[in-house]
Structure 1
């Protein structure tokens, strides 16, 4: 999620973040040495899921008069994913019935207290170990104590207990949106969102990397610089770049002709790093730029509006990406997804209110992998 910290009024104070022979799922087997010596593996999102977790926006204190609209966005997204795979949506007990009515019968709504919709960051990061799925509790802290998180800070532990999933502890404080992986031992993240005194005071990059290798079982960590202090997440990687197959990433690119800013410079730095990096297999990485839509052609608005196509979600049978209203750019993004995921449905979803709050589809979803998927 890339919500601006400046000039967002009530939102700035309360809103948080976030395959066949041609299909990447065929590349889902661990690479030699994957597991970092721990026997753990952090799988790729394109591997099979047991379910998708989401959360119901809970409070007018966060969303103000946008609460009804953002709930419509979440309900529509949950229903779209629920048509293809199981969706479990967490909602405060007193809001469970309302959420169920809004989302429809393809979505299971469970009573579990949350503060906001950003399941990507509050739900544990799941790994495979010993033939079981386990959950790494990343100590969610409201993006470095930038907002209240009394309920969301407990989601990881509570969810693991509910589903009987073993909990893995780590001294690192981070969020699920901080990390991107190929499922073969490669981890990409921004230094700005993890090696930061607001999450991990006193920890060096080397120390953070060592702990992540132990907790997640990754063997190769690629660091991007990111951006500090310009959004609540300190520039999560999932709005900047995403793997679509081992050795292939999509990279966000500003709309052609727009003035260079801190975000475009961050993307330029990321491209330089990725083009010169090698993954856990010792192979190079192909970088494919995907331009943002025309700012004058989108239907959403707001200082914190996220118009990056990178914040898509790869489901077991579908790929869900935002539809911003710039037909040419939207169609191009859908075609790119179809080229990389030919056996999945490509499902564009309008999420203008979620995006106006600085997040996207990936921020609002979190996959529970199927063991051996």
Structure 2
């Protein structure tokens, strides 16, 4: 399960923000909770933020239009359930508006690509309910893709909303960490403890993540560095659906010739041996991969768990495998009772190496 292959990202990559230097590590690290914490995605939202992709150093013109249509399809689905703000420079607003529902608001914030989960703001909340943005600096997944505009998005959103921007000392992406809303964080070390983002030990990175997101316990799995542009984000493999409860998409048996299968099962074994921040064993639910999918692209990301939870709905991908799509719908409905399950075709985004969760970012209600 390849997360995002390298498209046309060889040229014109912007310089990364400074990478903080520091120097092994326990797998499950515990720390007292700080002032701010990141709410669970399923808590009420003020709005969803998304980014309009425009960069022709990343896509050719035909691919870009396909990806834009898929982004519009996601936004037009979410806006039936909650407000959506599309980040797009005024120069590109007419192109965006031609595909977006009238209810989708356009914010004049320039973008490069669509991955708002990674380059967008990480919202955190204090005990009084006041929101802030924890500034996890985006550097194009380790300077692998142009990101001159995307690197500035978190700060620009914080400024527009009048929110504090809290320095975390971290370079990385929110798609690379999962949280359960009760103090437990999960990540692949390959995309955080990596000199292309942070020159620190695993313990040091973990401490900063716990501080940034309000966590109390860090669960690390190794992941894989260098096989895809993200260095293996966790949100294509496993998601917390609630305190101590995980959904993982993984086949029953290990394919020794498939590094994603080997790594995924290694993550699963660690999770099976881990406890959450409350000291309880994790509850782990399994969902199989689809098989008979529409896309023939070898690096296509067919991840059901890369779904997005918004007010009253779960927005998930369907891939054309009727049986597998049906199982995913049933599982999501059981996990999120009372919410509408919206399964939509986003193949152009899967062919770009991501999914619906990667393309969205929630702003919690204060």
Tell me if the contact between 1:256 and 1:291 (Cα under 8 Å) persists in the aligned partners: no
Deviations 1:151-175 (A, max 9, x none): 0010010111011111110111110
Deviations 1:324-356 (A, max 9, x none): 000100000010000011110000010000000
Q: Distance in 2 between matches of 1:88 and 1:255?
A: 40
Deviations 1:45-85 (A, max 9, x none): 11111110001111233111211111110001100001001
Q: Secondary structure at the match of 1:103?
A: coil
- Aligned pairs, number: 347
| Alignment correspondent of 1:86 | 83
Choose which of 315, 339, 342 in structure 1 pairs with 2:337: 342
| Alignment correspondent of 2:262 | 265
Q: Secondary structure at the match of 1:218?
A: coil
Tell me if the contact between 2:329 and 2:341 (Cα under 8 Å) persists in the aligned partners: yes
Structure 2: where are the runs of 5+ without partners?
14-29
Tell me if the contact between 2:121 and 2:154 (Cα under 8 Å) persists in the aligned partners: yes
Q: Distance in 1 between matches of 2:251 and 2:96?
A: 36
| Alignment correspondent of 1:146 | 144
Choose which of 145, 156, 159 in structure 2 pairs with 1:158: 156
Deviations 1:203-259 (A, max 9, x none): 001111111222221100111111110000000010110011222111121487977
| Alignment correspondent of 1:200 | 198
Tell me if the contact between 2:255 and 2:262 (Cα under 8 Å) persists in the aligned partners: no
Q: CA deviation at 1:281?
A: 1.2
Matched, 1:117 2:118: no
Q: Distance in 2 between matches of 1:244 and 1:53?
A: 21
Tell me if the contact between 2:256 and 2:262 (Cα under 8 Å) persists in the aligned partners: no
Matched, 1:324 2:319: yes
Root-mean-square deviation (CA, aligned residues, Å) is: 1.9
* 1:305-324 aligned within 5 A: 305-324=300-319
Choose which of 90, 104, 107 in structure 2 pairs with 1:107: 104
- Give TM-score scaled by structure 2 length: 0.91
Runs of 4+ aligned structure 1 residues displaced above 4 Å come to 11-15, 255-260
Tell me if the contact between 1:41 and 1:218 (Cα under 8 Å) persists in the aligned partners: yes
Q: CA deviation at 1:4?
A: 2.7
- 1:71 and 1:256, CA in 2 relative to 1: closer, same or farther beyond 3 A? farther
Q: CA deviation at 1:95?
A: 1.0
Matched, 1:49 2:50: no
Q: Distance in 1 between matches of 2:320 and 2:182?
A: 36
Tell me if the contact between 2:134 and 2:212 (Cα under 8 Å) persists in the aligned partners: yes
Structure 1: where are the runs of 5+ without partners?
16-33
| Alignment correspondent of 2:293 | 298
Q: CA deviation at 1:307?
A: 0.9
| Alignment correspondent of 1:72 | 69
- 1:346 and 1:14, CA in 2 relative to 1: closer, same or farther beyond 3 A? farther
Tell me if the contact between 1:188 and 1:223 (Cα under 8 Å) persists in the aligned partners: yes
